[in-house]
Amino acid sequence: MDYQWVKALHLIAVMSWMAGLLYLPRLFVYHSGVEADGARAQLFALMERRLLRAIMNPAMIASYIFGIWMLVLNPALLSEGWMHVKLAAILGMTYAHMKFAGMRRRLEQGEGQSDRYYRIWNEVPTILMIVIIIMAVVEPF
């Protein structure tokens, strides 16, 4: 497959993954503000579970598959300093994804945190996304 097609599929997957990473902690903020045993909490739990399992997990896997495929097609990228920073930020994004999965489970079990806690975590994917985009587009070093 042509490199440009792989790159396009990678970007589609990353955009889907980012949409979930930006929306899921926002759902946590709303979820933390309702009664743990109520119908609204059950609805938020369902929305969070579906978002994670049906969109975020497949998008993350696809992002990795197409990203690795791009590196296989162009291994010289691994010698670039900016790529090392980008890869470190991707690992941070993956950590945030896993952390959010744990938060989802705890919220579903009625063991949530404050809305402030989730609001702070909501900023992590944004910061990492900025680093990743600057590295990939500007290639500063």
Long-range own/partner contacts, residues 55-58 (CB < 8 A, 24 or more apart)? 55/16, 55/19, 55/20, 56/16, 56/17, 56/20, 56/21, 56/24, 56/97
- Mind listing the pLDDT tens digit for each residue in 65-122? 999 999 999 999 999 999 999 999 999 999 999 999 999 999 999 998 999 999 999 9
pTM of the predicted protein model: 0.94
- Inform me whether the pLDDT recorded for 5 exceeds 90: yes
- Inform me whether the pLDDT recorded for 57 exceeds 90: yes
